[in-house]
Structure formats: structure tokens, C-alpha cells
């Protein structure tokens, strides 16, 4: 019988969720505000309208448990790539020697999107609202280029201009992403660039500065502020981005139900800013927060080179490196931190989404960290088991999934493990090439460097009593 | 309403065709045999068993109109990527100014496969039969790497060893494909190599020889002959490969019917060896040959640098450059021809599938040729219109689709155009980079060079009266 039980569970276009799931009203402690760096006070929505598309700002602050997905946006998703498949990892289970039904591994395959990752879920949405509100241009930053190419795609769909500041290390390492963005009509600049004050500041220190997401955010923010017809677009961290990604977890829930699974025992995702993990886990986390599924485990995976939650501190910090953008309460390594050039460029961010920070702080989720060599090794193991080459970011989630499956096998436990296959590695082949040649480097962030960043005079001091 | 009319027409896994469609019994003139270069006589099936998987050889000669697809093979397709979507090219129609329903453009999207093209349809099938027959190793050649990575994927699925000889020009131009093949556990060699007699012969003439599909075929054939547990695998040209690809056209037929279209007016595909065009068009061609749809037009698109049908001759020729493999009756530029290094590496073959050759000879299909600059320009136009970056090969079909749509618009005709979106361009970004930088070269094969190849003393002379 050829059906869903065969390992690939598909949904119909009319099963695309009709709402995004907002976790804000359910959080164990209330959402922290975004702080204006000028006066140290919470930014009111009206002020944020000048930065982001208005509708996104409204969503950022909303306490409605469900926010409707506009019908014409759902139609665009249906016309392009959603719903995405859920796979049972039968090949990986076989290779791990866990055949049978005691341990089941599932992955939600977001690599089937037009740019190969989960990012278009919010890129298309932001472009949709921007267009509707009369904006003509979206400006953003990108690390490895997953986000930049998604926004280029989204803007192209609605015929908006798209400007991307790309972290120079990745700009050099991953020329393919730049070409893809340009094929979708975007303007791409290596960051730090000489086009902005923020960029120039870093270029003066080092003309070959490798850049960081923090710096690129500063440049994009500055650029977007120049015109009233331009807005800034963000691919992770903020609440509305995680909200847009909740399509992933909602679809996964329906798909698991179709094969008779009420809930997974462990949910895993890699974390850079937190959007793919957030998108998968929020619909399930809501059940845990409501007390329905107290035993469900959530594991966010970070690189050892940039362990924002694992080794960072929960405190107020700038989202960007030039201290121009909002101040956010989150786990952070300090906005002055410039991470090592690991291939998982999408995980090279000094902070973490406030939603994930609050959940971790309140012990509703765990985090772990892995070295890039073991991660890329897991990526190859997965490619050979499942036939899809993962992005280095995604391979972090795979490595942890393998660890959890083997642990359950050793303990003879019954487990359903679900992870987010956030993107394919077709643009990240250099990582695999270096690994196969034995040249892949390991980077681990020394604790004293973290402390130095966090002790920096540049770290903001916020008086919460003044809110 | 979010449904199939929205532009992406999906099928269920249980709608995967249950048979392949064999065009051999319907051809306007009977299929020509494969000739043994040793004695100039037709190769009997038993002799071919030493070259290809036995079941494939049986299919090569079969006159059954339908050949059942094994159930476990259909399950593998269902578990991985089939059925593939059919898209209405609404964005392209808009950009061409043909909105409305007089001219409709559809494309079958084979880029959703794990290696990004239609090639796994036959790669998985060949690996399946090889495994079943006790073969341990498949050896093949590849141009741009689409076929090599598909066979690497297929072999990995069944845990067979895979050896790939890759045309050196592409090996250098497209390192990504090599890494992908190796990630799927294949052994990849630049061709000509020093591992075979055939390779050495060409290396002695020129140590930096750019290679050709013909040379790589010779090397792969020679390599496969060394062991009784190895077989040679071919990704195009022969009947059984086109047969395996008929899944494409059958699905497209069902999908068009779902949106109320009984038949397309024009069917378009690019042609290297002829497998993607063959796979799409054969199920429709069968209707034309049976007299049901006499007006249906079929257009195969070739590069100007390698116009095997457009400028070649219909005659006996070697399939490979070292004259070791079978002699085939086909349109050919001569097996001594080494095509210019255009980016559409999959279209750099001197010959054409006998099935397509016979249909062209009997005027059941037309061919056209395009320059690579106009083709890549069409590729970018398509990416901006439809959000998917095509492989340079595929862009040939797109260019012709655009031409046909504009012609119909000018003539105020009502047309349904269907083309095969054979693969994405994520591994071919250099072509787009060069185009955007204005550095893309045009290559046109001069007629006198073709004549020189065809007049070569190396061309075989076959006495058909001896069969």
C-alpha cells in the first residue's frame, strides 16, 4: 500500500494552517519589551512602525492566542511550496540499529521551499505586509545567505526592492547565495561595507573585517532609516518572526496525528536566532505550558563556537553591534562578540529570541552545543541514510537527534523524536568538502572571552523599574 | 479556495503510475538495433546482459506497450519525491503579458527530486534492478553531474558501490556536484583519467583534455567490464532510460486532466541524450501516433554549440568516443566531436536517443536550437517570474516556451504549452554569475566542423542488409 505510512506524510494545500500560534499569552513570565537605546524606555508600537512593516509590529506586541493568516497569503504558500512534507527517518533508524517501532524519528522537511529553508515562511509574509502598506523597499542582513535569499525571493514575488547586507566571511565563503539573491533581483553588499556609517566604523579598524550578524544588522537598520518608503526586515529573533514560523509546528502536529502519534516525546531544532526551532516547537510548547503534555522535552542545539544560551547570560543587550537597534532582554554573549567563521553561518548570532530565552530561563526547554566536525559528520551520515544533504545549521539538530535516539536505545526507552530539517546544504558544499578532506576546523568559544564581552563598557544598563 | 486551480497541481502517492509506457510498438518505423562494433551485427539481449542490468536489457528490446513498475519501486518513489508537482506558470504568463486563459503555460517540476532533476527516475530504477540481480557496483559517466549525482543517490539507496567518470570541463566548473556525489558515497574521477586505456589515449594527446561525454562513456564502459559484479549504467539515450522517464508525462497527463485540460497543444523539452524530453512527451506522443491527437506539436530544444538533431545526420555511429560501446542509428555530429564548454553540460552529447531520432526522421517532432546567452537570460526571467532558478539545460526549454507563447500571442491563438522543468540551477550558479557580469560566451558549431567529423574515417559503416 502506497500511503502516508510509507515514510513521507503529505498534506493537502487546504490543510495549510489558518492561524499563526502566538505563544506570548502563555509564557511563564511576561514578554520583555524592546528598549529604545536613546532613552532606555520601552519602544511603543507607533515608534516601531518606522522600522518594521506595521502589521508585523502589531503582531510583535499582540496577546491574541491565534492570529489569522490572510487568505491570499495562504494561497501564495499553496501555490509555491506548502504544506511541507513530514518524513519518518526510516533510513537513519536503520543505520542507527533502531529498526522497529520503539524509537521513531520524524523530521519536518523545510528544505523544499524555493530557497531551500524555512526562511520564506516569514520572508513572504513580511513582503506581503510591506507591499500592502505601500512600502517599496525592504532592507536586511544575512549570515550564510539563507535569510537573504528568502527575502530576495519574497520581495521579488511582490515586486519590492530588496537590499541585503551579507556578513563578509559568508559572502566570500558562499558566493552561490549571492548569485541566487541577485537572480531574484536583490542588491547584495558584503558587510561591513562603506555604504553606511556603521560599516565604515568597522572597516576603519580592519579593512578585511570578516563581519558578523550584529554588524550587518546595524548596516541594514541604518540603510532602511534613510527612506520613508523603506523598512527593515528581520529573519529571526523577534516575536513576529517566530510567530510566522509556527506554520511548521502546526503542520507537523497534523501530520503526526495522521500516523497515529498524539505527541512527540522530544522536539529538537538548531538555534541561531531561534526562528526554526521556535516555529517547530511553539505549537507543541503551548500544550506543555497549558499542562497537557508535561513530559514533552525540547532541545535547542547551538554551535560550540557561538553558544548564546548554553554559555551566555540572560540580560539586556543590543541586538546589533553598532548599538543603533533596540535593546532586548535575552541570552547573549555580548553584542561585541565576533564569532569564528564556522560554516553554519546562520547560527553565528550573539543573542537569542526573547521567547526562547524566557522558556529556557523558566526551564521549559534545554539546550546543548556541538562541534562543527561532529555536526558535519552527522550531516554526511544523514545524507547517506535519508538521501538529503543538510545545511550545516540543520546538521546540528541531526547530531543531537542521533544522540537522543542512541540514548533511548541504550536505555531501552520508547521515544518519538521530532526535529526540524530547516534547510538543505546545496549552497554549503565547502563545509562537506573540507570535512571529507580532513581540513574542517573546530572552534570553541573560551569562557574568558565571553566574560570579557559581557563585562564590556558597551553593554547597556537598563533600569526595569522605570518601565 | 485553496486548491489545485491555484497554480500548483499535486497528486497523491497512490497516483504514481503503475506502468511505464513503451513507445517501441507504436513507432512509425521499427526500432533500430544496437550493433556490436566487433562484427557489425545486432547485439542479442544475452550479450547485453554483461553490460547493463538484465531487466533493463529486457526492457530495451521489449515490444509490450506497458511495462509494470514494481510495487516496491513505486513505494521508494512515494517515500522520496514522487509524484512531482505540475505548475501553471502564472508569473511567467503575467510577465509575458498573456494574462487570461487564451494561452496557458504549464511546467512539470522535476527539480523537486533529491538531486534536483528528473535523473533519479531512472537512476533509482537501475540501482533497484542491479541490486535485485546481485550486482555490487554500477559505473557511469556524467557531464554536468546531474546524472552522476542521481546514480550516486540511487546506488546509496540500495548500498551499491558507484563509480562516476565526470567530464573534466564540468569537474572543474562544477565542484559542487562532485562533493554531492561523494557525500552519497560515490567514487568520482575527472575524465579523461589515467585509470582506463580509453582515458589514457586522450590524456596522451592532451594532458589537460577537457573531456566529453563520449570519452567518459568509454571509460565507464571499460571500467565496468573489469568485474563480473559490476555493470554499466546509462542516464540517457537508450530506450529503457526513456521508458523509465515516462512517469513524468503520465503524471502530467493526470494533472492536466485535473484542471480540465484534455491535451496540451505544444510540448517542449531540452535535449541532450533525450531522456527528459522523451519522458515527458512519450505518453502524449503515443496518442499522436495512434491518430487521436494529430495536431499536437512536439519541440526538442538543443544548444547551438551541440545541435545533434538540428545539424547532425541520421546514420550509424558510436555512442562513445573510443568506439568500444555499441553502434547506434541516430542523429549525430560524429563521435569524434568535442563540444565547446557550455554550461548546459547535460546537453553536450554528440548523438540523440534512437526513439527521438526515429520520431524526428518521420516528422512527428520538431527541433530548434538556441544560444547560451539567450537561454541563461530566459533562466533569469523565469526565476524572477516563477521563483525557481532553472538549470542551464532546462533554460533551453524555457527560452523556446517563451518564444512559442509570444508567437501565439501575436497570432491571437489559443494554446496550452507544456514544458519539462527538468532541473534546478543551484549547482550551476557560475553560468548565472558570468551572465550577470556580461562574461558569458556564445558558442556556435560551424557547419564545416560537423562535416569534418561526419567524414572522419572513424565513422562506422554498417551493412543493414546483413541483419
Which uninterrupted H or E stretch holds B412? Answer: none
Give me the residue from B12, B114, B389 closest to A180, CB to CB. B389
Q: What is the DSSP string of A137-167?
A: EEEEEESSSHHHHHHHHHHHHTT-EEEEEEE
Q: Distance between CA atoms of A451 and B293, rounded to whole angstroms?
A: 76
Residue B260 binned pLDDT confidence (cut-offs 50, 70, 90): very high
Cell 567518470 sits at which residue?
Answer: B165
For the cut 50, the answer to whether the pLDDT of residue A180 exceeds it is yes
For A38, the grid coordinates are 536613546
Question: Any residues with CB less than 8 A from the CB of A257 and at least 6 apart, and which?
Answer: none
Contact A185 B2 (CB under 8 A): no
C-alpha distances out from residue A412 to A38, A98, A102, A294, A415, Å: 56, 10, 8, 21, 9
Find out whether A306 and A333 touch, Cβ atoms under 8 Å.
yes
Give the pLDDT of residue A210.
87
> In percent, how much of chain B has pLDDT > 70?
99
Q: CA-CA distance, A240 to A132, in Å (whole number)?
A: 17
* B253 touches B283 (CB < 8 A): yes
> Does A388 contact chain B (CB < 8 Å)?
yes
pLDDT, average across residues B397-412: 97
Instruction: Please spell the DSSP secondary structure of B319-348, one letter per residue.
Output: SSSSS-S-EEEEEES-TT------S-GGG-
- Mean pLDDT calculated for residue range B278-306: 97
- Cβ neighbourhood burial of B134 (10 Å; 0-12, 13-18, 19+): exposed
Cβ distance of A13 and B2 shorter than 8 Å: yes
Q: Does A421 touch chain B (CB under 8 A)?
A: no
SS3 content of chain A, % helix, strand, coil (to 5): 45, 15, 40
CA-based nearest residue in chain A for residue B75: A2
Contact A75 B389 (CB under 8 A): no
Chain A residues with CB-CB distance to B4 below 8 A = 13
Sorted by where each starts, the structural domains of chain B and their CATH numbers stand as 2-16+69-116+240-466 (3.40.50.1100)
Q: Is A114 in contact with B387 (Cβ distance < 8 A)?
A: yes
C-alpha dist (Å) from residue B22 to B42, B63, B240, B285: 21, 7, 9, 11
Q: Which residues of B touch A153 (CB under 8 A)?
A: 387
Asked if A180 and B429 come within 8 Å (Cβ–Cβ), the reply is yes
Cα–Cα distances in angstroms (integers) from residue B162 to residues B52, B114, B126, in the given order: 14, 17, 12
pLDDT digits (tens, 9 = 90+) for B196-248: 999 999 999 999 998 888 899 999 999 999 999 999 999 999 999 999 999 99
Residue A158 backbone phi and psi in degrees, to 5: -105, 10
C-alpha span between A178 and A168 (Å, rounded): 11
Helix, strand, or coil (residue B167):
strand
List, for residues A41-63, the tens digit of each pLDDT value: 999 999 999 999 999 999 999 99
Residues contacting A58, CB < 8 A, separation 6+: A45
Q: Could you report the predicted ipTM of this complex, rounded to two decimals? A: 0.94
Cβ neighbours of B389 in A, within 8 Å: 180, 183
CB A390 within 8 A of CB A419: no
Q: Does B5 touch chain A (CB under 8 A)?
A: no
User: Do residues A418 and A443 make contact, with C-beta atoms less than 8 angstroms apart?
Assistant: no
pLDDT of residue B1: 37
Residue-wise pLDDT for B80-95, tens only, equals 999 999 999 999 999 9
Alpha carbons A350 and A320: distance in angstroms, whole number:
9
Residue with cell 527538468: B422
Contact B6 A175 (CB under 8 A): no
- Convert A349-373 to b/e letters by CB count within 10 Å (16 or more is b): bbbbbbbbbbbbbeebbebbbbbbe
* B109, B145, B395, B429: best to mutate for the A interface, most A CBs within 10 A: B429
* Band (B467; pLDDT cuts 50, 70, 90): confident
Residues sharing a CB contact under 8 Å with residue A15, sequence separation 6 or more, in sequence order: A83, A251, A254
Number of H helices, E strands in chain B: 18, 15
Q: Which residue of A has its CA nearest to B186?
A: A384
Instruction: Work out the average pLDDT over B54-69.
Output: 98
CA dist., res. A162 & res. A139, Å (int): 6
The pLDDT tens digits for A134-147 are 999 999 999 889 99
Give percent of chain A above pLDDT 90. 87
Inter-chain residue contact B79 with A6, CB threshold 8 Å? yes
Cβ-contact A83, A13 below 8 angstroms? yes
> Which residue in the set B10, B112, B156 is minimally distant from A387, CB to CB?
B156
Residue B2 has pLDDT above 90, yes or no: no
* Closest chain A C-alpha to B464 CA, distance in angstroms: 46
d(CA B106, CA B419): 6
Average pLDDT value for residue range A162-186: 93
Chain B, 53-112: which have a CB under 8 Å from a chain A CB? 74-75, 78-80, 90, 112
Q: Is the pLDDT of residue B127 over 90?
A: yes
Q: What crossing angle do the helices spanning A175-183 and B429-436 adopt, rounded to 10°?
A: 60
Distance between CA atoms of A238 and A24, rounded to whole angstroms? 12
Q: Which tens digits make up the pLDDT trace of A103-134?
A: 999 999 999 999 999 999 999 999 999 999 99
Residue A2 banded pLDDT, cuts 50, 70, 90: very low
From A3, A90, A180, residue closest to B13, measured CB to CB: A3
C-alpha cell at A79: 501555490
Mean predicted confidence (pLDDT) in B179-190: 97
With contact defined as beta carbons under 8 Å apart, do A171 and A149 qualify? no
pLDDT at B5: 56
What integer is the mean pLDDT of A8-37? 95
Contact (CB, 8 A) for A2 and B13: yes
User: Which three cell numbers, joined as nine digits, stand for B12?
Assistant: 497523491
Alpha-carbon span A219 to A199, nearest angstrom: 6
State the Cα–Cα distance between residues B267 and A183, nearest whole angstrom.
Answer: 27
Mean pLDDT of chain A: 94
Contact A179/B at CB under 8 A: yes
Chain B residues with beta carbon closer than 8 angstroms to that of A4: 13
Q: Which of B184, B384, B427 is facing A156, going by the closest CB pair?
A: B384
Question: CB A426 to CB B116 under 8 A?
Answer: yes
Residues making up chain A, counted from first to last? 467
| CA-closest candidate to residue B281, choices B384, B348, B355 | B355
Query: Which stretches of A340-438 are assigned E, i.e. beta strand?
Result: 366-370, 415-421
Helix, strand, coil tally for chain B in percent (to 5): 45, 15, 40
Mean pLDDT of A63-76: 97
For A350-384, how does the pLDDT look when each residue is reduced to its tens digit (9 = 90+)? 999 999 999 999 999 999 999 999 999 999 999 99
Chain-chain contact of A12 with B13 (C-beta, under 8 angstroms): no
* pLDDT, position A1: 38
Sort out which chain B residues have CB atoms less than 8 A from A16's CB and list them: 2
Tens of pLDDT, residues A415-426: 999 999 999 999
CB count, 10 Å around CB of B370? 22
Residues B251, B253, B254, B256: is their CA dihedral positive or negative? positive
> Chain B residue with minimal CA distance to A114?
B388
CA–CA min distance A231, chain B (Å): 22
Residue B453 phi, psi dihedral angles, 5° rounding? -65, -45
Query: Cα–Cα distance between A306 and A303 in angstroms, integer?
Result: 5
Residue A394 or B346, more confident? A394
Amino acid at each position: 500500500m502506497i500511503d502516508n505510512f510509507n515514510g513521507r506524510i503529505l498534506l493537502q494545500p487546504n490543510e495549510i494552517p489558518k492561524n499563526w500560534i502566538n505563544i506570548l499569552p502563555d509564557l511563564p513570565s511576561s514578554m520583555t519589551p524592546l528598549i529604545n537605546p536613546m532613552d532606555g524606555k520601552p519602544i511603543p508600537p507607533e515608534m516601531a512602525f518606522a522600522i518594521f512593516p506595521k502589521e508585523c509590529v502589531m503582531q510583535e506586541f499582540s496577546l491574541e492566542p491565534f492570529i489569522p493568516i490572510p487568505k491570499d497569503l495562504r494561497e501564495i504558500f499553496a501555490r509555491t511550496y506548502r504544506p511541507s512534507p513530514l518524513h519518518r527517518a526510516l533510513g537513519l533508524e536503520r543505520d542507527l540499529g533502531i529498526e522497529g517501532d520503539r524509537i521513531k524519528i520524524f523530521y519536518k522537511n523545510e528544505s523544499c521551499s524555493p530557497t531551500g529553508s524555512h526562511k520564506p515562511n516569514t520572508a513572504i509574509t513580511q513582503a506581503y505586509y510591506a507591499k500592502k502598506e505601500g512600502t517599496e523597499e525592504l532592507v536586511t542582513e544575512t549570515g550564510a545567505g539563507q535569510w537573504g535569499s528568502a527575502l530576495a525571493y519574497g520581495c521579488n514575488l511582490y515586486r519590492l526592492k530588496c537590499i541585503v547586507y551579507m556578513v563578509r566571511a559568508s559572502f566570500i565563503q558562499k558566493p552561490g547565495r549571492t548569485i541566487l539573491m541577485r537572480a531574484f533581483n536583490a542588491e547584495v553588499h558584503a558587510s561591513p561595507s562603506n555604504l553606511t556609517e556603521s560599516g565604515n566604523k568597522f572597516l576603519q579598524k580592519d579593512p578585511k573585517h570578516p563581519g558578523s550578524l550584529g554588524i550587518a544588522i546595524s548596516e541594514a537598520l541604518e540603510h532602511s532609516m534613510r527612506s520613508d518608503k523603506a523598512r527593515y526586515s528581520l529573519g529571526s529573533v523577534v516575536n513576529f518572526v517566530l510567530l510566522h514560523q509556527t506554520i511548521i509546528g502546526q503542520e507537523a502536529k497534523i501530520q503526526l496525528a495522521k500516523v497515529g502519534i498524539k505527541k512527540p516525546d522530544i522536539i529538537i531544532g538548531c538555534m541561531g536566532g531561534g526562528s526554526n526551532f521556535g516555529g517547530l516547537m511553539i505549537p507543541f510548547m503551548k500544550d506543555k505550558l497549558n499542562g497537557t503534555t508535561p513530559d514533552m522535552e525540547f532541545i535547542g542545539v547551538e554551535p560550540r563556537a557561538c553558544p548564546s544560551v548554553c554559555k551566555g547570560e540572560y540580560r539586556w543587550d543590543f541586538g546589533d553591534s553598532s548599538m543603533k537597534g533596540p535593546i532586548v532582554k535575552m541570552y547573549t554573549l555580548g553584542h561585541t562578540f565576533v564569532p569564528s567563521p564556522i560554516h553554519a553561518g546562520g547560527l553565528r548570532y550573539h543573542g537569542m529570541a526573547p521567547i526562547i530565552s524566557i522558556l529556557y530561563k523558566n526551564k521549559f526547554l534545554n539546550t546543548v552545543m556541538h562541534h562543527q566536525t561532529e555536526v558535519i559528520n552527522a550531516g554526511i551520515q544523514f545524507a547517506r541514510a535519508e538521501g538529503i544533504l543538510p545545511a550545516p545549521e540543520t546538521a546540528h539538530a541531526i547530531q543531537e537527534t542521533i544522540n537522543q535516539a542512541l540514548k533511548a536505545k541504550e536505555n531501552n526507552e520508547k521515544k518519538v523524536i521530532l526535529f526540524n530539517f530547516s534547510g538543505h546544504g546545496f549552497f554549503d558544499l565547502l563545509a562537506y568538502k573540507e570535512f571529507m578532506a580532513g581540513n574542517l576546523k573546530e572552534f570553541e568559544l573560551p569562557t574568558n572571552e565571553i566574560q570579557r564581552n559581557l563585562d564590556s563598557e558597551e553593554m547597556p544598563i537598563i533600569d526595569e523599574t522605570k518601565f
